[in-house]
Amino acid sequence: MVRGRDATIAMNALSRRFPMFQFSRMTRQGVLFLVLFAAVCFPHALRAQSVDPFTVRNIQVDISAENVNIARDRALADGQRQAYDQLIQRLTSQADWPKAPKLSPREIEDIVLDVGIDQEKRSSVRYLATLSVRFKAEAVRRLLRGAGIAYAEWRGRPVVVLPLYQADNGPVLSESPNPWRDAWRGGAAQGLVPLIVPSPEQLDGVVNAQQAAAGSPDVLALVAQRFNTQDVLLAQAQPQRQDGGKVHLSVVLAGTGAIAQGLSGTRTYDSQPGESPDALLRRAVEDIARTANESWKGGNLLQFDHQAALAVIVPIAGFEDWLSLRERLTRSTPVRSYEVAA
Query: Does residue 187 form part of some domain?
Result: yes
Q: How many domains is the chain partitioned into structurally?
A: 3
294 in the same domain as 163:
yes
What local confidence, expressed as pLDDT, does residue 22 receive?
Answer: 46
Query: Does residue 110 form part of some domain?
Result: yes
What local confidence, expressed as pLDDT, does residue 337 receive?
Answer: 73
pLDDT at 8 over 80: no
Question: Which of residues 283 and 37 earns the better pLDDT score?
Answer: 283
Query: Does residue 152 form part of some domain?
Result: no
What local confidence, expressed as pLDDT, does residue 253 receive?
Answer: 97
In the listed set 146, 174, 199, which residue is the last one of a domain according to the structure? 146
CATH number for the domain spanning 204: value is 3.40.50
240 in the same domain as 118:
no
291 in the same domain as 203:
yes
**pLDDT digits 0-9 by tens, 114-136:** 999 999 999 999 999 999 999 99
126 in the same domain as 177:
no
**pLDDT digits 0-9 by tens, 145-176:** 999 999 998 877 899 999 999 999 999 999 99
Query: Does residue 303 form part of some domain?
Result: no
Assess whether the previous peptide bond of 177 is cis (omega < 30° from 0): yes
Query: Does residue 250 form part of some domain?
Result: yes
pLDDT at 16 over 60: no
pLDDT at 44 over 70: no
231 in the same domain as 262:
yes
Domain assignment of residue 37, given as a range: 5-41+312-340
pTM score: 0.71
183 in the same domain as 281:
yes
208 in the same domain as 169:
yes
**pLDDT digits 0-9 by tens, 52-65:** 689 999 999 999 99
Query: Rounded distance, CA 252 to CA 235, Å?
Result: 6
List the single range of 206-215, 255-264, 274-283, 302-311 with lowest mean pLDDT.
Answer: 302-311
DSSP state of 193: S
Query: Does residue 46 form part of some domain?
Result: no
DSSP 3-state of 72: helix
- Please report which confidence band the pLDDT of residue 266 belongs to, taking 50, 70 and 90 as the band edges: very high
258 in the same domain as 169:
yes
211 in the same domain as 247:
yes
Quote the Cα angle for 135-140-146, to 5°. 165
**pLDDT digits 0-9 by tens, 219-245:** 999 999 999 998 999 999 999 998 888
229 in the same domain as 106:
no
pLDDT at 41 over 50: no
Exposure letters 78-99 (e unless 16+ CB within 10 A, then b): bbbbbbbebbbbbbbeeebeee
